[in-house]
Amino acid sequence: MAGLIEKSVLLGIGILTLTRDKVAQAVDKLVEEGEVKADEAPNVVERLVARGEEEREAVRQMIRDELEKARMNIPVVSRKDIEALSQKIDELAAKVEALTKES
């Protein structure tokens, strides 16, 4: 699981470094090489940027999911639980005190 998270983070970092300008530069190079038509370049840039944003969000969601799974496996006591236990302790202490006074 740690390997999956690490790969996801690295992928996300790689996607984050691909700014719109860098994508445009790469597409411009493809236009120069004849791989992409000049009139298609803006559309290609938009699709690649959109795909990068989708991938980035997918990585974020994957990380959130893995963190949630990990959190579910860690026993965590809430403030409400602590307050309830504190109240029970106070009640038991009062009962013990009442019983000792009766004796």
| The pLDDT of residue 1 | 40
Other beta carbons less than 10 A from residue 12's beta carbon: 18
Residue 32's pLDDT band (cuts 50, 70, 90) = very high
Q: Is the pLDDT of residue 9 over 70?
A: no
CA atoms of 85 and 90, how far apart (whole Å): 9
Domain ranges of the chain: 2-76
- Helices (H) and strands (E) counted in the chain, each on its own, are 4, 0
Asked whether 11 and 62 are in contact (CB, 8 A), the reply is no
CA dihedral 64, 51, 1, 71 (to 10 degrees): 0
pTM: 0.51
